[in-house]
Structure formats: C-alpha cells, structure tokens
Structure 1
C-alpha cells in the first residue's frame, strides 16, 4: 500500500491535516500524521522516524514550515516534500535560515515557563489569510502553545542531499518570506510555486492531495554515485 507521512509545523497539530489525510485514505493510501510538541527538534524527529519505520515501504513525507527541519533529519523516506518549509544544511536551523517573517513574529505572545502561543486574530491573518473564514477560525482554534527552542534545533543529518525532494513555495505566504522559500527550494530536486498563503492544507487541501498522489504514482528518481538525485531542479 502506498504510504504518506504528514508532519505539521510549530503551533500546529495533526488535526490541521485532517482533510488531506481523510482524502488520501479514501483513495487507498496509508497515512500517518505524527504528533510533534515533544520539546525539541531531536525528539520531534525521533517521533516522525518511528512513524516512517512503522510502514512497510518508504513513504512520501511532507513537512510543513518547521516540519521541514524535522523531515531533514529522517532516514528511510522515499520522497520528501517541503511545504513552505525550512531546508537546513549542516549547522543550520530554521531560525538561522531566516525564521518567521515579521508578521508572524508580531503574532507570537509569551506564555508561562518560556512557552509561546499565537494571538488568535493575528494567527488567522498570518497563517490562514487566504482561507474561508470558518475554516480559518477552526484552524486557529486548533493551535497549541509551543515549547521554546525547537526553531533553533539543528538536524543531525540532511536527507534532502540523497533523497528525491519537492519544494512547494507558497507565493502569498505571510509567515515565511516567499523570497526565502525560493532560495531554499534550490536545494531540492524539484520545485513548484502555488499562489496560496502559508497553510494550503486548510484552504485548498485538494492541491496537496493531488501533489502527493502524483508523487506516489511516479517512480522514485534514480540517484547518482554520491546519492544525490539526478533529476534536474525546475520551478513550476
């Protein structure tokens, strides 16, 4: 059975991917959506690695936003999808690459014990500004407080260097600068740009379902002598 692992970003949770997961499962795909919020990048990566290891074949693994740092540290993925996500190289973190755009930084508010959360109204505008109102409000209501330091975590390995990868640039993103996304996309095997905000899984889940189903239906690109995918990078 074809398999997909969906990895959410900071402040988010598995329920944000519910519609995407339901549609993929209805089409016969095995879908796992791990819970992050484990307190650190290594702990989050370990949780997703366990999900990958539980599957019978190398899955397509999608990481959103901070989830890009998480999937960068994985072993055993068949294809990586970076959705408006960070693609760290050696010694790099999401924060070091540029981190949150100013509008997202302004939405962050401190909580007890060093945790932070997002102001609901500002979160709607920043993360879900292109989504229908009821969907945006529901998504904002699912957001959780975030432990400190995850965005400064540095992956121990860099799977995009030897695993086929696709970067999806969200051209109307207010949370991660699209200019930064285009730079990070150059590290991936393939890239495409959607004119959406930061969270198309909320407003346009069909785009993500179509992308993942297309990747599942395509043979994994062969790799070169150093394990680097031989497919040319292209922007669509």
Structure 2
C-alpha cells in the first residue's frame, strides 16, 4: 500500500500525530513522520525530502499548518494534503500570507537561546480547544521550543502547481484564520471543510485517516 508522510507544524513534534500514524499503520500503510525543528524552512524541507526519497514509491504527503510550507517545497509526492496549512506561491512565506492569529500570537513567549515557546496556559485555547481535555493536555505537554525565522522562509519549488492536492479548511480554527485558509485552498485541486479547530489529528484522528485513504485508494486502484 502507498506510504504516507505526515509533516507537523511549528512547536509540534511527530508524537502529536501518533494516533493518526497508528491507525494508518494498522490499515497497512507505511507511515513516516519526520522530525522538523532543523532551524530553517530549507532544512525542514530537506528532512522531509529525504524521507520521501527513502520510500519506494510516491507517497501521500500531509502537512499541517507551517508544514504546508514544507510540503510545498518537496518533489516526488503522489498527492499533497494541506491540513489547515499554508500554501505559498512564488515569493510567499507562511508569515507573509498572514501567519498566526492574534490569539495564537498572544500565546507565544520567549524561549531559550532566542527561540520562542507557546505558553502552556494559553496554547490549548488556540490549538486544541475542541479536543477532549486529557488529549489536549497531553498535546500541550508535547509542545517544544521553536527556532526563529522558519515561518518567514520561502519555498524554492511549489509542488501544488503540478501535484494533485487536497486542502482541509478547519472552520473553527483559532490559530489560522479560516477565511485565509479558504483563500489558500483555492490553489488546491480539491477542498474540504471540517467543523473542527486547528488540530483534528489530536481530537478527531479518524477524520484524517479517512481523508488520506481517499487518495490512497485512487493511487492503488488498478487502471
């Protein structure tokens, strides 16, 4: 079965996608969740590109939030999925497209060595407000410091221009304005809208699994 690459956003870790990855593996997919936090968009993109290149066939590549900027710059994907994610065009960055909402910006605080963090007492209200409390608390605990400047990185290539793509608008998102998401979604082949917050991979992992299975089925079906 076609492999799946899951790409997290700023402040997040691969472990945030554990529930999605487990379900996809149980269904028979090879799943790779690269660790970002390489210090720049270019370095993060290179890490994901290496993961794609190591696979034997073009995978489904899903990017969440800032992860959309990352997957925009890769080659070799069979299908791109943008989950409440940035879809930069030539010369654009996530920050330049609009970046974080005022509510999420208010949750950002100073971290060590010039990094920033999300304040634990404010992060859940922006990122996980519609998730069950125990899952939201676990997700907050997993958040890590973020190196500066990644959101201002500009992709070198723009895979959505020539690779089939799906955009998922999260209509109750408090981290990235849903209106901005809808505008970016117009760049993609297919658009869905879910009545969720920013992080359905925490509270509604089955939604993502079902979504990813659609291009998987299309890629693996005969003829």
1:79-100 alpha-carbon deviations (Å, 9 max, x no partner): 0000000000000000000000
Q: Name the SS for the 1:16 alignment partner.
A: helix
The aligned residue for residue 66 of structure 2 is: 66
> Which whole-Å CA distance do the structure 2 matches of 1:130 and 1:136 have between them?
9
After superposition, where does 1:41-190 map in structure 2 within 5 Å? 41-190=41-190
**Any runs of at least 4 consecutive aligned residues in structure 1 with deviations exceeding 6 A, and if so which?**
none
The aligned residue for residue 207 of structure 2 is: 207
Task: Tell me how many residue pairs correspond in the alignment.
Answer: 220
Matched, 1:5 2:32: no
> Which whole-Å CA distance do the structure 2 matches of 1:120 and 1:55 have between them?
36
User: How far off its partner does 1:42 sit?
Assistant: 0.3
The CA RMSD measured in Å over matched residues stands at 0.8
The aligned residue for residue 223 of structure 1 is: none
User: How far off its partner does 1:113 sit?
Assistant: 2.1
The two structures have a TM-score, normalised by structure 1, of: 0.92
Q: Name the SS for the 2:63 alignment partner.
A: strand
User: How far off its partner does 1:215 sit?
Assistant: 1.4
- In structure 2, runs of 5+ residues without a counterpart are none
Q: Name the SS for the 2:74 alignment partner.
A: coil
Q: Name the SS for the 2:76 alignment partner.
A: coil
The aligned residue for residue 21 of structure 1 is: 21
User: How far off its partner does 1:219 sit?
Assistant: 3.7
> Which whole-Å CA distance do the structure 2 matches of 1:177 and 1:141 have between them?
24
1:150-177 alpha-carbon deviations (Å, 9 max, x no partner): 0000000000000000000000000000
- In structure 1, runs of 5+ residues without a counterpart are 221-236
The two structures have a TM-score, normalised by structure 2, of: 0.97
